[in-house]
Amino acid sequence: MGIKKHILVIPGDGIGPEVTTWGKAVLEKIGQEYGHEFTFDEGVMGHVAIEATGTSLPDDTLAKAKASDAILFGAVGHIKYDNDPSAKVRPEQGLLKIRKELGLYANLRPIMLFDELLNASSLKPEILKGTDILFFRELTGDVYFGEKNRTANFASDLMNYNRYEVERIARKAYEAARARTKRLCSVDKANVLETSRLWREVIQGIAPEYPDVETEHMFIDNAAMQLVKNPKKFDVVVTANLFGDILTDEASQIAGSMGMLASASVGDGTGFFEPIHGSAHDIAGQNKANPLASILSVALMYEIAFGLKEEAGRITSAVDKTLKAGYRTGDIADANIDKAKILGTAAMGQKVLEYL
């Protein structure tokens, strides 16, 4: 029995429209095969929204988001804001606001390593092989949402957490760990930060509820080192917003490229599915972007938003078959790859559709 779902597509900025095109195509193709029915709407967010409406998240897009069953997102950002610290309206504000408005408090980032890309990473293959990490990054608290102050010679960002914010993501992470290898690593900076002391206290309080899960606490600086020294030591990692942002970008090098990593931002309602890469304006419109992270985000949507693991597995398998056949985009091509098999965005997306 097929499902009926309404999907909002927010292409966003830079390479966002190019990669979401292929995420949507895969979503539809596998849906048709299994008798699922999807309707679509589109919204603007980020730089394109600022140019059109003066705000990075227009009310119309937010209303469409709240009315959808899931959201497929591209990327936000533009270099003009990176070089202008005084800009009051910024593309990233829309991303933070939609997370807050939809209650998307847990960001899931699987670090999935395809064996075919062992040589695409800057790390040694023998260190990488067998790595399989699932990050839980808290998404609606921390320094990103705290009070901010700025004068000519002073700036401050308040880092804050409420107990309930830590409790709810901790339980999601423990449930995931229970379904995997029963290992959870909580990353903080409890030797320095009060927010981290609360974080660790909450984790320690919840751990006895999951006696079958081994709990480890690690400081962020050590975790950053261990992630490149011995990534196989991690299974489920749960951490705060700022630390999670940094660690998951670092972990992208395990997978060979940020263009390979999908993510899901979830709460208790509509889920938000996106590649973790940015808008990459330097290659936008040049048919160079890697669409695989967007396609893998659709696999996450099938599994997490709709509970359809078979369809999700089919998508991941199609990506694997594409890589096994030797096809690469520029960001994941090593020196041994046949140059004839280094594809642009559209050709790579089409290959995945063929292998579906």
At residue 71, the pLDDT reads: 98
- pLDDT class for 63, splitting at 50, 70, 90? very high
Does residue 250 share a domain with residue 345? no
Indicate whether 112 belongs to any domain: no
- In the prediction, which pLDDT does 143 show? 95
* pLDDT of amino acid 203: 98
My answer on whether 32 and 6 are in the same domain is yes
d(CA 302, CA 283): 29
pLDDT band for 77, please (50, 70, 90 cuts).
very high
Q: What is the DSSP letter of 328?
A: B
Measured between alpha carbons, how far apart are the two ends of the chain, in Å?
20
Evaluate whether 7 touches 312 at the Cβ level (below 8 Å): no
Q: Are residues 236 and 274 in the same domain?
A: no
Average pLDDT for residues 315-335, to the nearest whole number?
A: 94
- Within a domain: residue 117? no
Residue 115 lies in a domain: no
Instruction: Reply yes or no on whether 320 is catalytic.
Output: no
Q: Could you tell me if residue 348 is inside a domain?
A: yes
- Residue of 245, 288, 302, 331 with catalytic role: 245
Q: Which of 223, 254, 285 is the last residue of a domain?
A: 254
- Strand pairing partners for 73? 10
pLDDT of residue 97: 93
Same domain, 308 and 277: yes
What pLDDT was estimated at residue 142? 95
pLDDT at 335 over 90: no
For this structure, is 282 an active site residue? no
Question: In the prediction, which pLDDT does 146 show?
Answer: 94
Do 143 and 211 lie in a common domain? yes
For 248-275, write each residue's pLDDT tens digit: 989 888 887 888 999 999 998 899 999 9
Residues 222, 292 within the same domain = no
Q: Is the pLDDT of residue 84 over 80?
A: no
- CATH number for 126: 3.40.718.10
Catalytic residue among 82, 221, 282, 338: 221
Instruction: Please give the tally of structural domains in the chain.
Output: 2
Q: Residue 350, class by beta-carbon neighbours within 10 Å (0-12 exposed, 13-18 middle, 19+ buried)?
A: middle
- Identify whether residues 36 and 66 lie together within a single domain: yes
Exposure on the CB side of residue 1, measured as CA atoms within 13 A: 0
- Report the distance separating Cα 90 and Cα 308, nearest Å: 36
Selecting among 144, 161, 174, 355, the annotated active-site residue is 144
User: Are 42 and 68 a contacting pair, CB within 8 Å?
Assistant: no
Residue 235 falls in the annotated catalytic set: no
The predicted pLDDT at position 80 comes to 86
pLDDT for residue 256: 79
Same domain, 221 and 273: no
Q: What is the pLDDT of residues 273-291, one digit of tens each?
A: 999 899 999 999 999 999 9
Whether 53 and 128 map to the same domain: the answer is: no
What is the mean predicted confidence (pLDDT) over 163-188? 96
pLDDT above 90 as % of the chain: 84
Whether 9 and 97 share a structural domain: yes
Chosen domain end from 186, 220, 254? 254
Note whether 218 and 270 are same-domain residues. no
Is 312 a residue whose pLDDT tops 90?
Answer: yes
Does residue 292 lie within any of the structural domains?
A: yes
352 pLDDT more than 80: yes
Per the residue annotation, which of 41, 132, 157, 249 is the catalytic one? 249
Assess if residue 25 is contained within a domain.
yes
Q: For position 191, what pLDDT does the model report?
A: 98
Residues 103 and 129 in one domain: no
Using CA atoms, how far residue 135 sits from 84, 210, 240, in Å, is 32, 18, 11
Q: Say if CB 167 and CB 206 are below 8 A apart.
A: yes
In a domain, 239, yes or no: yes
Residue closest to 305 by CA, chosen among 36, 77, 91, 81: 36
Mark whether 164 is an active-site residue. Answer: no
Residue 113 lies in a domain: no
The Cα angle at residue 183 between residues 314 and 233, in degrees rounded to 5:
85
Q: What is the mean pLDDT of the chain?
A: 94
Cα 141 to its chain centre, rounded Å, is 17
- Catalytic member of 24, 64, 189, 288: 189
Domain that holds residue 317: 1-107+263-356
Q: Which of 231, 254, 277 is the last residue of a domain?
A: 254
Q: What is the pLDDT of residue 217?
A: 98
pLDDT tens profile 207-258: 999 999 999 999 999 999 999 999 999 999 999 999 999 999 898 888 878 8
Q: Note if 82 is an active site residue.
A: no
